Every structure is written in structure tokens, then in C-alpha cells.
Amino acid sequence: MTSAGRTSRAARARAAFVHLPLAVAFAVGVAAVPGGATSGRPASGDAAQAGAAAQQGANPRSVAAGADTPAAATRWAVGEFLEYTLKYGALSVGSGRMQVLGRQAIRGRDTWQLQFDFSGGTLFFRVNDAFVSWLDVRTLNSLRFEQRISEPGYKRNRVYEIFPDRSVFTLKGGEDKPSVADPLDDATFFYFIRTIPLDVGKSYDFYRYFDPKANPVTIRVLRRDTVSVPAGTFPAIVIQPLIKTSGIFSEGGQAELWLSDDDRRILLQMKSKLSFGSLNLYLRKYVLPPLTPNGPTLTSPP
């Protein structure tokens, strides 16, 4: 193979892998240009009302958004573990994991500690990245988000502190930057999507990404399906995320997610078509502990 050919293959491999955080963790780390808008979040008990608003084209918003209520009803529990096979075309190129690690106290608030990580690559490009989030148990707002990126020639560790009460965030203790009232980050957005009603044929707009430049995020609910993956065969709801970005979830993109059509809404499969090939993932292993939203709290220093 010529040097130019190897360079081209390496470039395509890297282009595929830089989309993985967005694809698997439902990341919203994008550069969008939204209009000014309020954030919207259905809280526990208000999901049906929020869904009805979304179906009419409005932004779902609970009157109790951000309120200090009892622990919000969730579709996950400590110990949940989802493992995926990642494929670039027909080639297996790595694995990804989504986990609910535990409960921690952040600035005096009880949070879910969530992690998405993936590793793999090709002979030309390998990655080992992780994203850790802390999601408020009561309000389902993000309080902290950490990115740990390790790629050839590029390493980054960023910690974002997010303050819903003041609608600001900081990067590594820097100056305050404008945020939204009910913020979510790259990883917690996917967990939030699991809590809302998903009616086939409807579209939902959300203005909740913690950096307002990335809003809105649109979710189209396409159809019901039955899907077979290495972990088994499942009934599914197929959704299409639309984000104002040049990535696989761009408005002109062709990416679909299959969520289990049950009380968990776990990610079963993703399929996407890119200009240089396809990037897909398939659930191969899972652990789903009993749902205990009011279980014991684990504490750590603020």
C-alpha cells in the first residue's frame, strides 16, 4: 500500500472514532447556533404532560423543573452495565461501555455517577476515552462532567462544574460561563432521554445542553421494531437524534438508535451512514439490577 493510501485509511479511521462519544453516549458536544430559549425538562410525575406539549411542537417543560423534589423516577439503578461491540463497516474495531457506577454527594447534592468509556481502533488510529457525569438524583440536572481523552498525539482531561441554580458552568475552576436552568451534559442527555415518553411519529425539542450554543437537540421517534443483537432479540423503539452539527447526528445525517421498548429503555443498537462508511454498535452484554431509586447514598468530598 502506498504512503498516500495509508494516510487516507488513517484519516478515515480517525474520522469514524471521533464520533464515538456522540454516538454511544448520546453526546451533545457540538457547535450549534440556536435561538434564545428556555430549557425544558419533564420531571417525575409530569412526563405525560411534557410529552403532550412536545407533540404540539412546544418544548417539554415541567412546572416543577429544577425543584427539590423526592428522588425522580428513573429507568436505571446502581450497577447497571451495558457493553457494546463497535464496528466500522464489517470490521470490529473496539468496545464501549455505559455504567451506573454509584451514588455520590456533589456540593451536598445526591447524584448518580455515570460513566461511558470506549477503547479500540485500527492499526492506524487507537483511542481510549472516558466520560464521567454526576446527575442530581432529585432534579435530573448535571452537576459535574469530566472528559478523559487519550488519542494518538492528543490527550485531554477537562472537568466542568455545572451550577443549575445560577445557570452557569466553569471549566477547571475558570470564569463563569452562561448555561441553562436545567442542564445536561454529553452522557446524562442519553439517560434523560430514557425517562421521557417516546410516541411514534412525534418530535421532541430540548434546550438542556449545559453549553447553550449546542441547543436545541431534537429527537424524532420513527417506529417500533424487533432487533437482534449479540445480547439477544428485543422489541425496540427507533429514534433519530438531530443536532446542528456536521457529525453523524446532523440534520442531514443518517443515524438511528434502537432503544428497548420496555421499562428500561436501554440502548440496543446504533446504525449510521457516513461519507466514508458506516459506524455501528451492538449490545453484547448487560447487567440490569432491580430498580431502587431511593437506595442508599454514597458520599464523597464535595
> Over the stretch 69-90, which tens digit does the pLDDT of each residue have?
566 678 999 999 999 998 888 8
| C-alpha to C-alpha distance for 179 and 192, rounded to whole angstroms | 18
Which residue would you say has higher pLDDT here, 208 or 120?
A: 208
Q: Give me the pLDDT at residue 260, please.
A: 97
CA distance 7 to 224: 41
CB atoms within 10 A of CB 75: 18
In whole angstroms, what is the distance from residue 137 CA to residue 220 CA? 26
**Peptide bond connecting 289 to the previous residue in cis, omega within 30 degrees of 0:** no
Cα–Cα dist 138/142, whole Å: 11
For residue 34, the model assigns a pLDDT of: 30
Looking at residue 57, what is its pLDDT? 33
Contact predicate 163/157, CB 8 Å: no
Percent of the chain past pLDDT 70, that is, above it, reads: 66
Model's pTM, two decimal places?
0.75
Q: Are strands 203-206 and 217-229 parallel, antiparallel or unpaired?
A: antiparallel
Which range has the worst mean pLDDT, 153-157, 207-211, 238-242? 153-157
SS3 279: strand
**Distances in Å between the alpha carbon of 167 and those of 41, 68, 176, 257?**
15, 16, 9, 30
For residues 8, 11, 16, 22, the Cα torsion angle rounded to the nearest 10 degrees is -160
Task: For residues 269 and 285, give the distance between their C-alpha atoms in angstroms, rounded to a whole number.
Answer: 12
Cell triple for 222: 420513527
Q: What's residue 118's pLDDT?
A: 84
